[in-house]
């Protein structure tokens, strides 16, 4: 179940199939697993050649014989050759697993394709049935049906296939739900392909790889369960089976304990190969073909002399480089950014998405996503070198002196806790005040950010308030400890246009009230024009231009800035400043 999402990685096109197989095999795990599987399957196929004795032939002198005494691995409780039974046992095991897999996959994938594609009632019914089947203890059902199904293990394995079909169903259904609104499906529909054609040609193709993974897992489960049924005596006693061998070994456990080893090892090795192969395929799909290993050696920032900052400079960032591990070493997302903020100053950080502006902000907060590192450069906050400070020292600054307002208000409140608690907890930690005092302050803050009925909001869960209200709550949380620096990462992007202006007004008021320095990350020059003193323009991880707002709008120095400004003008978003017409516009 957990693999549903991970399994949705891009599927290699048919032309790349051979490359795909090769790269799965280039993974050592994948190679060993495939080889092991190949050996077990081949030995089952060629069992008559590999087995020196008839697996059912009884030699009375060799009852519980030790290994090497005539029989390679010894004799079982009836004097039969364990080695011969072992290689023959693989046959019925693989046949049983094949039956289970084919039935589970054909029912599950078909139902999943149709339920996912047509949705609604069909989906509802199919999901109820699938949940119902999953609520049944499969082994108990198979035991209960034993009399009805007769001694043939294959019928039981077929029923087991039905019971395992929900796994395929859920996987396929979710995958189809993911792709059915893709453009190429729409295109196929418009071009007049029938639903059946679309399902079989386009959608089936895109669920193929996850289904292969699921198949190999289900084959493993089938082998384990089949051996369990045979161990309980529900198999055909006349054919050699791994589970049956274990049953025999169990009854002779005091006489010939080593007999327990071989069939169990055969099962475990086979199933482990299947799982490892599935893992190798999954890894290959997730990683796009290249073995990812984060480079261990990190180019550490050279120990630089502490740069001397101007007295009123609060934040001084120099040559900041931020990198994340990637396929081929480290990928730099911020490539040497330098900027500074004075107390009470508002700096706009502008750029397209992916330009590194948010990563710069997170680096200053010390909250890069997992894997991310500040590779070089320095961040000085009020004379404190954050790069040289310990985790705890940086944490002590966060919330208290450096605060953060995020982009998506709803995603930034913990859905499991009341809003009041989410304001009170940090205040108690950071300011060391009592719960009652923190509650009093939180209510006051909620009123300050102009939320109607602060008491109700205090008691509400995040899903009970609107996005605009949530952003006010987050702003209240950010200014709760009267910070010196507020980093706002696109604080209005996710809000309705009417709410955007109100939230910006609120931020501006609070900035003046607390005399905070604000770093306003945005892609919107209108916001910059309304709120900022200075603006830095970022592109591809670098600052291309930094200037006062008035000067930058009047005379953008960099082509990229000009391009950004032009695109804003076309949207008609700014009204405050009217930059002079550029060459391109005259043309």
Partner 1 sequence: MIRYLLKRVASGIALLCLVSTVTFMMVFGATGNVARNILGENATAEQVTALNSRLGLDRPLMVQFGDWVSHAIRGDLGPSWTMSESVASALASRLPVTLSMVTIAVAMMALLSAMLGIAAAVRGGWADRAIQIVSVAGFAMPNFWLGLLLVLTFSVQLGWLPATGYVSFGASPSAWAASLVLPVTALVLSGIASASQQIRGAVIDALKQDYVRTLRARGVSPRSVLYRHALRNAMPAALTVLSVQFIALLGGAAVIERVFAIPGMGSLTVSAALIGDVPVLMGVVVTLIIVVVLVNILIDFLNAWANPKVRMS
Query: Please, which of residues 335-394 interact with partner 1 by CB under 8 A?
Result: 362, 365, 367, 369-370
Which residues inside 2-31 make contact with partner 1, applying CB under 8 A? 2
Nearer to partner 1, 202 or 441 (CB): 441
Both tokens assigned to 118: 């047509």
Which listed residue (158, 162, 232, 326) binds partner 1 by CB under 8 A? 232
CB of 168 to partner 1, least distance (A): 16
Separation of CA 147 from chain center: 45
Binding-residue pattern over the window 135 to 154 for partner 1, x denoting contact by CB under 8 A: xxxxxxx-xxxxxx------
264 binds partner 1 (CB under 8 A): yes
C-alpha dist (Å) from residue 231 to 99, 245, 380, 585:
19, 8, 69, 83
Q: Please select the residue that binds partner 1; options are 461, 493, 533, 540, rule is CB under 8 A.
A: 461
Non-local (6+) Cβ contacts of 286 within 8 A are: 6, 9
Number of shown-chain residues binding partner 1 (CB under 8 A): 80
**Whole-angstrom distance, CA of residue 384 vs CA of residue 395:** 13
432 near partner 1 (CB under 8 A): no
Which one, 171 or 413, has the nearer CB to partner 1? 413
- Sheet hosting strand 313-326, strand order edge to edge: 329-342, 313-326, 373-381, 384-385
Question: In what side-by-side order are the strands of the sheet with 517-522?
Answer: 402-405, 485-489, 517-522, 346-350, 534-539, 542-548
Chain residues 184-223 in contact with partner 1, contact rule CB under 8 A: 220
In contact, 506 and 475? CB cutoff 8 Å: yes
Angle between helices 28-45 and 82-118 (to 10 degrees): 120
Q: Tokens 């392909």 correspond to what residue?
A: 193
Cβ contacts of 385 within 8 Å, gap of 6 or more:
306, 378, 379
> Pairing relation of β-strands 485-489 and 402-405?
parallel
Distance between CA atoms of 43 and 485, rounded to whole angstroms?
70
Q: Do β-strands 329-342 and 534-539 pair in parallel, antiparallel, or remain unpaired?
A: unpaired
Q: What is the CA radius of gyration of the chain?
A: 33
| Burial 136-174, CB ≥16 within 10 A → b, else e | eebeebbeeebeebeeebbbbbbbbbbbbbbbbbbbbbb
Which of 43-51, 115-123, 199-207, 272-280 is the region at the interface with partner 1 (rule: CB under 8 A)? 272-280
From candidates 257, 288, 307, 354, binder to partner 1 by CB under 8 A? 257
* Smallest separation, CB 364 to partner 1 (Å): 11
Near partner 1 in 276-315, by CB under 8 A: 276, 279
Q: Which stretch binds partner 1 (CB under 8 A): 81-89, 118-126, 257-265, 280-288?
A: 257-265
Residue selected from 234, 280, 323, 442 as contacting partner 1 according to rule CB under 8 A = 234
CB-nearer residue toward partner 1: 265 or 585: 265
Contact call for residues 483 and 401 (beta carbons, < 8 A): yes
When the beta carbons of 87 and 274 are compared against partner 1, the nearer one is 274
Interface segment toward partner 1; rule CB under 8 A; list 61-69, 319-327, 342-350, 395-403: 395-403
Near partner 1 in 506-525, by CB under 8 A = none
Query: Which is nearer to partner 1, 136 or 555 (by Cβ)?
Result: 136
- Complex with partner 1: residue 1 or 292, whichever CB lies closer: 1
Least distance (Å) from partner 1 to the CB of residue 422? 7
Q: Is 275 in the site for partner 1 (CB under 8 A)?
A: yes
Contact pick of 11, 51, 213, 267 for partner 1 (by CB under 8 A): 267
Shortest separation between residue 458's beta carbon and partner 1, angstroms: 15
State which of residues 97, 246, 519, 529 lies at the interface with partner 1 (CB under 8 A).
246
Q: Output the CA angle 574-344-481, nearest 5 degrees.
A: 110
Instruction: Give the Å distances, CA to CA, from 214 to 62, 328, 492, 493.
Output: 43, 30, 43, 40
Stretch that binds partner 1, among 180-188, 249-257, 331-339, 437-445 (CB under 8 A): 249-257
Closest CA to 550 of 583, 525, 582: 525
Q: Which stretch binds partner 1 (CB under 8 A): 36-44, 327-335, 398-406, 496-504?
A: 398-406
Residues ≥6 apart with Cβ < 8 Å to 460: 418, 419
Given 9, 32, 98, 134, the residue binding partner 1 (CB under 8 A): 134
Q: Which is nearer to partner 1, 412 or 561 (CB)?
A: 412
Measured from the CB atom, is 279 or 561 closer to partner 1? 279
Q: How far is the CB of 405 from partner 1 (least distance, A)?
A: 9
**184 vs 417, beta carbon nearer partner 1:** 417
Name which of 88 and 400 has its Cβ closer to partner 1.
Answer: 400
Distance from C-alpha of 173 to C-alpha of 544, rounded to nearest angstrom: 47
Residue 374: which H helix or E strand, with range? strand 373-381
Pairing of strands 346-350, 329-342: unpaired
Between residue 405 and residue 424, which ones bind partner 1 under the rule CB under 8 A? Answer: 406-408, 411-417, 422
**Near partner 1 by CB under 8 A: residue from 21, 122, 158, 272:** 272
- Closer to partner 1 by Cβ: residue 362 or 381: 362
Instruction: Go through the chain and tell me how many residues it has.
Output: 587
CB of 381 to partner 1, least distance (A): 14
Which of positions 464-503 make contact with partner 1 (CB under 8 A)?
A: 464, 474, 477-478, 480-481
Using the contact rule CB under 8 A, the part of the chain among 18-26, 459-467, 532-540, 542-550 near partner 1 is 459-467
């Amino acid at each position: 179940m957990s693999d549903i999402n991970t399994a949705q990685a891009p599927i290699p096109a048919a032309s790349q199939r051979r490359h795909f197989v090769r790269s799965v095999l280039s993974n050592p795990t994948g190679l060993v697993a495939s080889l092991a599987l190949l050996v077990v399957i081949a030995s089952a196929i060629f069992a008559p050649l590999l087995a020196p004795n008839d697996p059912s032939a009884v030699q009375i002198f060799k009852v519980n014989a030790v290994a090497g005494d005539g029989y390679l691995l010894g004799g079982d409780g009836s004097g039969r050759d364990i080695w011969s039974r072992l290689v023959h046992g693989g046959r019925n095991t693989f046949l049983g697993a094949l039956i289970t897999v084919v039935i589970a996959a054909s029912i599950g994938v078909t139902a999943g394709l149709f339920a996912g594609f047509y949705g609604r009632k069909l989906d509802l019914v199919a999901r109820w049935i699938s949940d119902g089947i999953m609520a049944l203890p499969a082994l108990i059902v198979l035991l209960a049906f034993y009399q009805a199904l007769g001694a043939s293990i294959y019928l039981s394995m077929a029923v087991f296939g039905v019971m395992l079909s929900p796994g395929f169903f859920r996987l396929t259904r979710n995958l189809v739900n993911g792709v059915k609104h893709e453009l190429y499906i729409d295109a196929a529909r418009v071009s007049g392909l029938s639903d059946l054609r679309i399902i079989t040609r386009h959608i089936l193709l895109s669920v193929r790889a996850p289904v292969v993974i699921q198949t190999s897992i289900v084959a493993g489960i089938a082998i384990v369960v089949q051996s369990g049924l045979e161990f309980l005596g529900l198999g055909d006693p006349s054919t050699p089976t791994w589970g049956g061998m274990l049953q025999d070994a169990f009854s002779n456990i005091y006489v010939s304990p080593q007999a327990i080893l071989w069939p169990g090892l055969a099962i475990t090795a086979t199933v482990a190969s299947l799982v490892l192969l599935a893992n190798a395929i999954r890894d290959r799909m997730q990683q796009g073909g290249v073995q990812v290993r984060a480079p261990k050696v990190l180019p550490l920032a050279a120990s630089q002399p502490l740069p001397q900052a101007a007295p009123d400079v609060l934040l001084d960032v120099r040559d900041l480089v931020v990198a994340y591990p990637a396929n081929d070493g480290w990928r730099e997302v911020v490539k040497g950014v330098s900027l500074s903020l004075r107390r009470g100053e508002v700096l706009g950080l502008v750029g397209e998405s992916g330009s590194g502006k948010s990563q710069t902000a997170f680096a200053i907060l010390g909250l890069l996503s997992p894997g991310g590192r500040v590779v070089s450069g320095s961040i000085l906050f009020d004379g404190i070198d954050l790069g040289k400070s310990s985790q705890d020292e940086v944490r002590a600054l966060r919330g208290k002196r450096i605060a953060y307002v995020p982009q998506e208000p709803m995603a930034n409140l913990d859905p499991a806790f009341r809003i009041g608690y989410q304001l009170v907890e940090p205040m108690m930690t950071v300011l060391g005040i009592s719960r009652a005092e923190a509650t009093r302050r939180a209510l006051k803050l909620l009123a300050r950010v102009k939320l109607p009925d602060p008491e109700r909001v205090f008691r509400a869960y995040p899903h009970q308030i609107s996005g605009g209200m949530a952003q006010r709550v987050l702003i209240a949380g950010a200014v709760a400890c009267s910070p010196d620096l507020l980093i706002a990462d696109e604080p209005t992007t996710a809000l309705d246009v009417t709410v955007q202006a109100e939230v910006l007004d609120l931020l501006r008021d609070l900035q003046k009230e607390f005399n905070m320095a604000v770093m306003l990350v945005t892609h919107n020059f209108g916001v910059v024009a309304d709120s900022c003193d200075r603006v830095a323009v970022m592109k591809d991880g670098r600052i291309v231009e930094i200037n006062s707002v008035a000067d930058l709008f009047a005379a953008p120095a960099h082509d990229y800035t000009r391009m950004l400004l032009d695109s804003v003008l076309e949207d008609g978003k700014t009204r405050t400043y009217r930059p002079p017409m550029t060459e391109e516009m005259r043309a």
